[in-house]
Amino acid sequence: MNKIINLVLLLVTTITFGQTKTPEEFGFRHMVLKYRAENVDILIKSNKGEENIPKPLFFFCQGSLPKPLIKYHEKNVYGVFPFNPDSLSKKFHLVIVSKPYIPVIADYKTLSPDFNFIDSSGNFPKGYADRNLLSYYVPRNIAVIKYLKKQKWVKTAQLVVAGHSEGSTVAAKMAADYENITHLIYAGGNPQGRIMTIIGQSRTRETDTDSTRFGDEEIKHWEAVVKNKSDMDCSRGDTYKATFEFSQPPIKYLGKLKIPVLISYGTKDWSAPFNDLMRVDFIRQGKRNFTFQPYVGTDHNFFPLTADNKPNYDIFNWDKVANDWLKWTNEK
């Protein structure tokens, strides 16, 4: 099971539904693209009344785990994006794509306690697990962008791709593979790969040298992953192949990018030391296309920590992060 926390941020709004719930009732356009003979669900968020006004795309790659894009309960709706999209939608059409074989819309009562869509056995759906790979998401997302660029309401001079957590790795690889991306936002990622975040998270749980060698256990797990890197058994959660692909250090291709790149991260996140190391190394190399924006004292989802190192959910920083992204796209 992927041990990286992917918190569902409770941006809750109230909407009056009809009998049949559709993305349009939630303020989204819903488009479907055929990719490898399968349907890919695309949601577009635009300012109301400006759906057909040409604007550039802001393509957001969400984090890990099989979560429906739209989660609701009665008249309450949980945020599709972790931030309020209103500020960014003034300049962009925002795009987000569903996870494979996961419904676009679901009542949260039908989901697991952490909002995952699971089967009757409590496992991730096999269709999702078989495609939950970096090597699937990157070409799929690029195919979506190529399709959207043909629409009359899309300006093509600027194309921003952003990603948080697992999505940061997807976004970074997309920027490496698709030259039409003009700006990359890499948020809450680990430039040394997923396994280093897993190990770092486990190290924080250790209390002595004998019975809590959690970090060593993760390294042994990594040895098994590398030995069986093509294994697609999903009974453990993420397949070994998924863990192997997402653990390849993104810094290998981040460092080759020439486009403007914004690195956003909380300084209390497990990946913070690796982002600081990347920053120091890029200064050493004289790279000037990277902007680093650490959020001091905040965790993986930009919540500040309390005295006992627990997230303070009363202070919501995601909207500040999104506004900082908008400011950066205007400056770059």
Beta bridge partners of 45: 94
Nearest-angstrom CA–CA distance, 222 and 247: 9
Q: How much is the pLDDT for 13? A: 53
For 247-304, the pLDDT digits (tens) are: 999 999 999 999 999 999 999 999 999 999 999 999 999 999 999 999 999 999 999 9
Q: How much is the pLDDT for 17? A: 47
Kindly report the CATH number that applies to the domain delimited by 12-331: 3.40.50.1820
Q: How much is the pLDDT for 164? A: 98
Please answer whether residues 194 and 248 qualify as being in contact, where contact means their C-beta atoms are separated by less than 8 angstroms.
no
What SS3 string covers 308-322?
CCCECCCCCCHHHHH
List the chain domain ranges.
12-331
List b or e across 123-157, with b for residues whose CB sees 16 or more CB atoms inside 10 angstroms: ebbeebbbbbbbebbbbbbbebbebbeeeebbeee
Beta bridge partners of 61: 163
Nearest-angstrom CA–CA distance, 198 and 262: 23
| pLDDT lower than 50: segments of the chain | 1-10, 12, 14-19
For 185-222, the pLDDT digits (tens) are: 999 999 999 999 999 999 888 887 777 888 999 999 99
Nearest-angstrom CA–CA distance, 90 and 62: 21
Strand stretches in the chain, DSSP E: 12-14, 29-35, 38-45, 55-61, 70-73, 76-78, 93-97, 105-107, 154-164, 183-187, 261-266, 290-295
List b or e across 230-256, with b for residues whose CB sees 16 or more CB atoms inside 10 angstroms: ebeebeebbbbbbbbbbbbbbbebbbe
